[in-house]
Amino acid sequence: MEYLSMLPGPTNVPDRVMRAMLAPIINHRSDDFVRLYRDVVEKTRRVFRTEGDVVALSASGTGAVEAGVVNIVRKGDKVIVPVNGEFSGRLAQMIEWQGAETVRLETPPGANATFGQVREAFDNNPDAKAFYVVHNETSTGTMVNYLDRVKDLASRTGALYVVDSVSLLGGAPLPVDEWGIDVCMTGAQKAIAAPPGISPISVGPRAKKMMLADPPKTMYFNLPRYFKYYEESSHTPFTPALPLMYAFREALSMMLEEGLDDIYARHRACSEALYAGLGAVGLSPFAREEDRSVSIVALNYPEGLEDGPFRRTLAERFRVLVAGGFGDLKGKVFRVGCMGEVSAYHVMRTISAVSSTLAMMGFEADAGAGLAAAQEKLGSL
Protein backbone atom coordinates (compact mmCIF):
# COMPACT_ATOMS: atom_id res chain seq x y z
CA MET A 1 0.00 0.00 0.00
CA GLU A 2 1.19 3.50 -0.78
CA TYR A 3 2.58 5.73 1.92
CA LEU A 4 0.81 8.86 3.04
CA SER A 5 3.63 11.40 3.03
CA MET A 6 3.14 13.70 6.01
CA LEU A 7 6.79 14.66 5.69
CA PRO A 8 7.91 18.30 5.69
CA GLY A 9 8.60 17.58 2.02
CA PRO A 10 8.56 15.84 -0.31
CA THR A 11 4.80 15.83 0.05
CA ASN A 12 2.14 13.69 -1.67
CA VAL A 13 1.83 14.38 -5.38
CA PRO A 14 -1.65 14.16 -6.97
CA ASP A 15 -2.06 11.50 -9.70
CA ARG A 16 -2.77 14.16 -12.29
CA VAL A 17 0.65 15.70 -11.61
CA MET A 18 2.43 12.32 -11.64
CA ARG A 19 0.82 11.44 -14.97
CA ALA A 20 2.05 14.67 -16.53
CA MET A 21 5.58 13.24 -16.31
CA LEU A 22 4.70 10.63 -18.94
CA ALA A 23 4.71 13.27 -21.68
CA PRO A 24 7.36 12.47 -24.29
CA ILE A 25 10.82 13.95 -24.12
CA ILE A 26 11.04 16.99 -26.38
CA ASN A 27 13.86 19.07 -27.75
CA HIS A 28 14.56 21.79 -25.21
CA ARG A 29 15.61 24.01 -28.12
CA SER A 30 12.23 23.86 -29.84
CA ASP A 31 8.88 25.64 -29.98
CA ASP A 32 7.41 22.79 -27.89
CA PHE A 33 9.71 23.73 -25.06
CA VAL A 34 9.09 27.44 -25.52
CA ARG A 35 5.36 26.83 -25.01
CA LEU A 36 5.97 24.68 -21.94
CA TYR A 37 8.49 26.97 -20.28
CA ARG A 38 6.59 30.21 -20.96
CA ASP A 39 3.53 28.63 -19.39
CA VAL A 40 5.61 27.54 -16.37
CA VAL A 41 7.02 31.05 -15.96
CA GLU A 42 3.61 32.75 -16.29
CA LYS A 43 1.94 30.39 -13.83
CA THR A 44 4.82 30.67 -11.37
CA ARG A 45 4.49 34.46 -11.56
CA ARG A 46 0.83 34.16 -10.59
CA VAL A 47 1.61 31.88 -7.65
CA PHE A 48 4.39 34.24 -6.47
CA ARG A 49 2.15 37.22 -7.24
CA THR A 50 4.94 38.99 -9.09
CA GLU A 51 5.45 40.78 -12.38
CA GLY A 52 9.20 40.31 -11.96
CA ASP A 53 11.45 37.76 -13.62
CA VAL A 54 11.05 34.10 -12.69
CA VAL A 55 13.52 31.28 -13.28
CA ALA A 56 12.44 27.67 -12.73
CA LEU A 57 15.72 25.96 -11.88
CA SER A 58 16.17 22.22 -12.33
CA ALA A 59 17.51 21.75 -8.80
CA SER A 60 16.33 21.07 -5.28
CA GLY A 61 15.43 24.00 -3.01
CA THR A 62 19.03 24.46 -1.92
CA GLY A 63 19.88 25.29 -5.54
CA ALA A 64 17.40 28.17 -5.61
CA VAL A 65 18.62 29.41 -2.21
CA GLU A 66 22.24 29.22 -3.35
CA ALA A 67 21.32 31.11 -6.54
CA GLY A 68 19.65 33.76 -4.38
CA VAL A 69 22.89 34.16 -2.46
CA VAL A 70 25.69 33.89 -5.03
CA ASN A 71 24.04 36.29 -7.46
CA ILE A 72 23.84 39.07 -4.87
CA VAL A 73 26.31 38.70 -2.02
CA ARG A 74 29.93 39.70 -2.52
CA LYS A 75 33.06 39.74 -0.38
CA GLY A 76 32.94 42.51 2.22
CA ASP A 77 29.13 42.96 2.11
CA LYS A 78 27.14 43.13 5.30
CA VAL A 79 23.92 41.08 5.48
CA ILE A 80 21.27 40.84 8.23
CA VAL A 81 19.88 37.31 8.72
CA PRO A 82 17.70 35.86 11.50
CA VAL A 83 18.96 32.42 12.59
CA ASN A 84 16.97 29.92 14.65
CA GLY A 85 17.34 26.52 13.05
CA GLU A 86 18.96 24.32 10.43
CA PHE A 87 17.82 26.15 7.29
CA SER A 88 18.38 29.70 8.53
CA GLY A 89 21.80 28.47 9.75
CA ARG A 90 22.60 27.11 6.28
CA LEU A 91 21.47 30.40 4.73
CA ALA A 92 23.79 32.41 7.00
CA GLN A 93 26.60 29.96 6.20
CA MET A 94 26.15 30.38 2.44
CA ILE A 95 26.26 34.17 2.86
CA GLU A 96 29.45 33.94 4.92
CA TRP A 97 31.05 31.60 2.36
CA GLN A 98 30.71 34.46 -0.12
CA GLY A 99 33.05 36.44 2.13
CA ALA A 100 30.31 38.63 3.58
CA GLU A 101 29.84 39.65 7.18
CA THR A 102 26.54 38.52 8.68
CA VAL A 103 24.58 40.26 11.39
CA ARG A 104 22.96 37.12 12.80
CA LEU A 105 19.76 37.70 14.77
CA GLU A 106 19.96 34.52 16.82
CA THR A 107 16.90 33.28 18.71
CA PRO A 108 16.25 29.91 20.36
CA PRO A 109 14.86 27.16 18.11
CA GLY A 110 11.07 27.35 18.10
CA ALA A 111 10.97 31.14 18.48
CA ASN A 112 11.40 33.81 15.80
CA ALA A 113 13.22 37.12 16.10
CA THR A 114 10.53 39.71 16.83
CA PHE A 115 9.73 42.49 14.38
CA GLY A 116 11.24 44.90 16.92
CA GLN A 117 14.54 42.98 16.82
CA VAL A 118 14.55 43.11 13.04
CA ARG A 119 13.84 46.86 13.07
CA GLU A 120 16.66 47.40 15.55
CA ALA A 121 19.05 45.44 13.30
CA PHE A 122 18.13 47.68 10.36
CA ASP A 123 18.57 50.79 12.56
CA ASN A 124 21.99 49.64 13.76
CA ASN A 125 23.17 48.53 10.31
CA PRO A 126 22.05 51.09 7.75
CA ASP A 127 24.97 49.94 5.58
CA ALA A 128 23.65 46.37 5.26
CA LYS A 129 23.37 45.37 1.61
CA ALA A 130 20.53 42.93 2.21
CA PHE A 131 18.14 41.29 4.64
CA TYR A 132 17.83 37.53 4.10
CA VAL A 133 15.15 35.60 5.94
CA VAL A 134 13.79 32.06 6.05
CA HIS A 135 10.00 32.40 5.91
CA ASN A 136 9.30 29.02 7.44
CA GLU A 137 12.00 27.27 9.50
CA THR A 138 11.30 23.68 8.56
CA SER A 139 13.55 22.19 11.23
CA THR A 140 11.48 23.59 14.11
CA GLY A 141 8.05 24.42 12.66
CA THR A 142 8.12 28.19 12.95
CA MET A 143 6.84 30.76 10.46
CA VAL A 144 7.61 34.49 10.35
CA ASN A 145 4.39 36.51 10.51
CA TYR A 146 5.61 40.04 9.73
CA LEU A 147 7.09 39.71 6.25
CA ASP A 148 4.54 42.29 5.01
CA ARG A 149 6.17 44.91 7.26
CA VAL A 150 9.85 44.47 6.30
CA LYS A 151 9.46 46.43 3.04
CA ASP A 152 9.37 49.77 4.91
CA LEU A 153 12.55 48.93 6.83
CA ALA A 154 14.39 47.82 3.70
CA SER A 155 13.30 50.83 1.66
CA ARG A 156 14.58 53.22 4.37
CA THR A 157 18.13 51.89 4.04
CA GLY A 158 17.96 50.61 0.45
CA ALA A 159 18.75 47.03 1.52
CA LEU A 160 17.60 44.20 -0.72
CA TYR A 161 14.90 41.96 0.75
CA VAL A 162 15.38 38.22 0.08
CA VAL A 163 13.09 35.41 1.29
CA ASP A 164 13.71 31.64 1.42
CA SER A 165 10.16 30.35 1.34
CA VAL A 166 11.12 26.83 0.27
CA SER A 167 8.78 25.13 2.72
CA LEU A 168 5.83 27.51 2.55
CA LEU A 169 5.27 29.46 -0.67
CA GLY A 170 1.86 28.53 -2.02
CA GLY A 171 0.61 27.45 1.42
CA ALA A 172 0.35 30.91 3.01
CA PRO A 173 0.16 34.46 1.64
CA LEU A 174 3.44 35.82 0.29
CA PRO A 175 2.54 38.37 -2.40
CA VAL A 176 6.06 39.07 -3.57
CA ASP A 177 5.52 42.45 -5.28
CA GLU A 178 3.01 43.84 -2.78
CA TRP A 179 5.32 43.00 0.12
CA GLY A 180 8.37 44.47 -1.64
CA ILE A 181 10.36 41.23 -1.79
CA ASP A 182 13.27 41.59 -4.22
CA VAL A 183 14.19 37.91 -4.49
CA CYS A 184 12.15 34.89 -3.39
CA MET A 185 12.98 31.21 -3.58
CA THR A 186 10.90 28.07 -3.17
CA GLY A 187 10.84 24.36 -4.04
CA ALA A 188 8.32 22.27 -5.98
CA GLN A 189 8.05 19.46 -3.45
CA LYS A 190 6.41 21.36 -0.60
CA ALA A 191 3.20 23.43 -0.77
CA ILE A 192 3.18 23.32 -4.58
CA ALA A 193 2.78 19.51 -4.38
CA ALA A 194 4.97 18.59 -7.34
CA PRO A 195 7.82 16.05 -7.31
CA PRO A 196 11.18 17.33 -6.02
CA GLY A 197 13.60 18.74 -8.58
CA ILE A 198 12.25 22.09 -9.78
CA SER A 199 12.92 25.18 -7.68
CA PRO A 200 11.72 28.58 -8.81
CA ILE A 201 13.25 31.91 -7.90
CA SER A 202 11.73 35.34 -8.54
CA VAL A 203 13.88 38.41 -9.13
CA GLY A 204 12.54 41.97 -9.01
CA PRO A 205 13.95 44.85 -11.12
CA ARG A 206 16.31 46.26 -8.49
CA ALA A 207 17.93 42.89 -7.80
CA LYS A 208 18.07 42.07 -11.50
CA LYS A 209 19.95 45.28 -12.23
CA MET A 210 22.45 44.46 -9.52
CA MET A 211 22.93 40.89 -10.83
CA LEU A 212 23.43 42.05 -14.42
CA ALA A 213 26.02 44.60 -13.32
CA ASP A 214 28.09 41.98 -11.54
CA PRO A 215 27.29 38.40 -12.60
CA PRO A 216 28.65 35.67 -10.32
CA LYS A 217 31.62 33.58 -11.35
CA THR A 218 29.59 30.43 -11.43
CA MET A 219 28.03 28.58 -14.36
CA TYR A 220 24.93 26.65 -13.28
CA PHE A 221 23.38 29.21 -10.93
CA ASN A 222 24.35 32.24 -12.99
CA LEU A 223 20.97 34.01 -13.14
CA PRO A 224 21.99 36.66 -15.71
CA ARG A 225 22.55 33.74 -18.11
CA TYR A 226 18.99 32.52 -17.47
CA PHE A 227 17.60 36.04 -18.05
CA LYS A 228 19.49 36.32 -21.35
CA TYR A 229 18.30 32.95 -22.65
CA TYR A 230 14.72 33.69 -21.65
CA GLU A 231 14.74 37.14 -23.22
CA GLU A 232 16.32 35.91 -26.45
CA SER A 233 14.47 32.63 -27.00
CA SER A 234 12.40 31.60 -23.92
CA HIS A 235 14.89 28.78 -23.37
CA THR A 236 16.93 27.82 -20.33
CA PRO A 237 20.74 27.90 -20.63
CA PHE A 238 21.15 24.27 -19.55
CA THR A 239 19.17 21.07 -20.15
CA PRO A 240 16.01 21.31 -18.02
CA ALA A 241 14.57 18.29 -16.15
CA LEU A 242 11.76 17.95 -18.70
CA PRO A 243 9.46 15.41 -17.00
CA LEU A 244 9.67 17.41 -13.78
CA MET A 245 8.90 20.60 -15.67
CA TYR A 246 5.69 19.02 -17.02
CA ALA A 247 4.73 17.89 -13.53
CA PHE A 248 5.53 21.30 -12.08
CA ARG A 249 3.31 23.01 -14.65
CA GLU A 250 0.44 20.63 -13.85
CA ALA A 251 0.80 21.32 -10.12
CA LEU A 252 0.74 25.08 -10.76
CA SER A 253 -2.39 24.66 -12.91
CA MET A 254 -4.09 22.75 -10.12
CA MET A 255 -3.22 25.52 -7.67
CA LEU A 256 -4.61 28.23 -9.91
CA GLU A 257 -7.78 26.19 -10.49
CA GLU A 258 -8.36 25.80 -6.76
CA GLY A 259 -7.54 29.45 -6.03
CA LEU A 260 -4.65 30.68 -3.91
CA ASP A 261 -6.79 32.12 -1.13
CA ASP A 262 -8.66 28.83 -0.73
CA ILE A 263 -5.34 26.96 -0.59
CA TYR A 264 -4.05 29.28 2.14
CA ALA A 265 -7.29 28.76 4.12
CA ARG A 266 -6.99 24.98 3.72
CA HIS A 267 -3.41 24.96 5.00
CA ARG A 268 -4.41 27.07 7.99
CA ALA A 269 -7.44 24.91 8.85
CA CYS A 270 -5.51 21.64 8.48
CA SER A 271 -2.59 22.88 10.60
CA GLU A 272 -4.95 24.12 13.31
CA ALA A 273 -6.66 20.73 13.23
CA LEU A 274 -3.31 18.93 13.55
CA TYR A 275 -2.18 21.13 16.48
CA ALA A 276 -5.55 20.74 18.23
CA GLY A 277 -5.94 17.05 17.42
CA LEU A 278 -2.43 15.89 18.28
CA GLY A 279 -2.60 18.14 21.35
CA ALA A 280 -5.78 16.37 22.52
CA VAL A 281 -4.06 13.02 21.89
CA GLY A 282 -1.51 14.12 24.49
CA LEU A 283 1.37 15.65 22.49
CA SER A 284 2.73 19.17 22.87
CA PRO A 285 3.85 21.42 19.99
CA PHE A 286 7.53 22.43 19.94
CA ALA A 287 7.26 25.98 18.59
CA ARG A 288 6.06 29.02 20.49
CA GLU A 289 2.36 29.52 19.82
CA GLU A 290 2.61 32.90 18.06
CA ASP A 291 5.36 31.60 15.74
CA ARG A 292 3.82 28.26 14.75
CA SER A 293 3.94 27.28 11.10
CA VAL A 294 0.93 26.34 8.99
CA SER A 295 2.92 23.86 6.91
CA ILE A 296 5.11 22.07 9.48
CA VAL A 297 3.75 20.82 12.81
CA ALA A 298 6.68 19.98 15.12
CA LEU A 299 5.82 18.00 18.26
CA ASN A 300 7.80 17.09 21.37
CA TYR A 301 8.31 13.40 22.03
CA PRO A 302 6.92 12.34 25.40
CA GLU A 303 9.62 11.27 27.89
CA GLY A 304 10.79 7.75 27.02
CA LEU A 305 9.37 7.54 23.50
CA GLU A 306 12.09 6.66 21.01
CA ASP A 307 12.18 8.31 17.60
CA GLY A 308 13.30 5.30 15.53
CA PRO A 309 10.74 2.72 16.71
CA PHE A 310 7.93 5.31 16.75
CA ARG A 311 8.43 6.44 13.15
CA ARG A 312 9.14 2.91 11.96
CA THR A 313 5.90 1.61 13.45
CA LEU A 314 3.96 4.55 12.04
CA ALA A 315 5.41 3.88 8.57
CA GLU A 316 5.26 0.07 8.56
CA ARG A 317 1.93 -0.52 10.33
CA PHE A 318 0.00 2.53 9.18
CA ARG A 319 1.90 3.69 6.07
CA VAL A 320 2.16 7.23 7.42
CA LEU A 321 5.48 9.04 7.01
CA VAL A 322 6.60 11.79 9.38
CA ALA A 323 10.11 13.22 9.91
CA GLY A 324 12.43 13.27 12.90
CA GLY A 325 14.32 16.25 14.31
CA PHE A 326 17.54 17.89 13.10
CA GLY A 327 20.80 18.27 15.05
CA ASP A 328 20.14 18.92 18.76
CA LEU A 329 16.45 18.15 18.22
CA LYS A 330 17.15 14.62 16.97
CA GLY A 331 15.15 12.24 19.16
CA LYS A 332 13.38 15.15 20.86
CA VAL A 333 10.81 16.13 18.24
CA PHE A 334 9.04 14.75 15.23
CA ARG A 335 7.66 16.84 12.40
CA VAL A 336 4.44 16.46 10.47
CA GLY A 337 4.12 18.15 7.08
CA CYS A 338 0.84 19.92 6.37
CA MET A 339 1.17 21.00 2.79
CA GLY A 340 0.19 20.58 -0.82
CA GLU A 341 -2.97 18.52 -1.20
CA VAL A 342 -3.41 18.24 2.61
CA SER A 343 -7.08 17.81 3.54
CA ALA A 344 -9.35 16.41 6.27
CA TYR A 345 -8.38 12.90 5.11
CA HIS A 346 -4.67 13.49 5.71
CA VAL A 347 -5.28 15.12 9.07
CA MET A 348 -7.67 12.48 10.44
CA ARG A 349 -5.61 9.53 9.17
CA THR A 350 -2.45 11.00 10.72
CA ILE A 351 -4.09 11.62 14.10
CA SER A 352 -5.55 8.15 14.20
CA ALA A 353 -2.26 6.49 13.13
CA VAL A 354 -0.19 8.51 15.62
CA SER A 355 -2.59 7.66 18.48
CA SER A 356 -2.62 3.97 17.59
CA THR A 357 1.19 3.90 17.42
CA LEU A 358 1.50 5.65 20.78
CA ALA A 359 -0.92 3.16 22.34
CA MET A 360 0.93 0.18 20.80
CA MET A 361 4.14 1.50 22.34
CA GLY A 362 2.58 1.74 25.79
CA PHE A 363 1.84 5.47 25.90
CA GLU A 364 -1.48 7.00 26.78
CA ALA A 365 -3.23 8.40 23.74
CA ASP A 366 -6.84 9.52 23.48
CA ALA A 367 -7.60 8.99 19.80
CA GLY A 368 -11.27 9.92 20.16
CA ALA A 369 -10.45 13.26 21.78
CA GLY A 370 -7.85 13.95 19.09
CA LEU A 371 -10.20 13.27 16.21
CA ALA A 372 -13.00 15.31 17.78
CA ALA A 373 -10.70 18.30 18.42
CA ALA A 374 -9.41 18.14 14.85
CA GLN A 375 -12.89 17.86 13.38
CA GLU A 376 -13.91 21.05 15.15
CA LYS A 377 -11.06 22.98 13.50
CA LEU A 378 -11.60 21.44 10.08
CA GLY A 379 -15.14 22.78 9.93
CA SER A 380 -16.56 22.14 6.47
CA LEU A 381 -13.23 21.05 4.90
Contacts with ligand PLP, residue ranges (CB under 6 A): 9, 60-62, 65, 87, 134, 136, 138, 164, 166-167, 187
Report the nearest approach of ligand PLP to the CB of residue 155 (Å). 25
Toward ligand PLP, which CB reaches closer, 129 or 190?
190
For residue 23, the surrounding DSSP H or E stretch is none
Rounded to the nearest whole angstrom, what is the least distance from the CB of residue 64 to ligand PLP in the complex? Answer: 8
Task: Find the shortest distance in angstroms from Cβ 168 to ligand PLP.
Answer: 8
Q: Nearest approach, Cβ of 24 to ligand PLP (angstroms)?
A: 27
Q: Between 11 and 357, name the residue whose CB sits nearer to ligand PLP.
A: 11
Instruction: Output 164 or 250, the one with its CB closest to ligand PLP.
Output: 164
CB of 273 to ligand PLP, least distance (A): 22
Nearest residue to ligand PLP by CB is: 61
Closest approach, Cβ 321 to ligand PLP, in A, equals 14
Short-list 197, 171, 91, 188, CA closest to 139: 91
Is the Cβ of residue 251 or residue 367 nearer to ligand PLP in the bound state?
251
Question: Cα dist. 189→41, 126, 198, 305 in Å?
Answer: 17, 36, 8, 29
Residues near 205 by Cβ (< 8 Å), separated by ≥ 6?
52
Nearer to ligand PLP, 203 or 378 (CB): 203
Measure Cα distances from 138 to 197, 209, 218, 292, 293 in Å: 18, 31, 28, 11, 9
CA distance readout (Å), 358 to 34, 159, 306, 324: 52, 49, 11, 15
Residue (165 or 352) nearer to ligand PLP, CB: 165
Sequence-distant (6+) residues with CB within 8 A of 64 are: 57, 166, 185, 186, 187, 199, 200, 201
C-beta closer to ligand PLP: residue 89 or 216: 89
Q: Least separation, in Å, of the C-beta of 274 and ligand PLP?
A: 18
- Least Cα distance to 87 among 137, 13, 37, 40 occurs for 137
Shortest CB 134 distance to ligand PLP, Å:
5
The total of other beta-carbon atoms located within 10 Å of residue 15's CB is 7
Instruction: Using the minimum distance from each CB to ligand PLP, give the nearer residue, 50 or 165.
Output: 165
Question: Which residues make Cβ contacts (< 8 Å) with residue 261, sequence separation at least 6?
Answer: none
From the list 68, 105, 36, the residue with the least C-alpha distance to 243 is 36
State the first-to-last Cα distance of the chain, in angstroms, to the nearest integer: 25
**Which residues partner with 83 through β-bridges?**
106
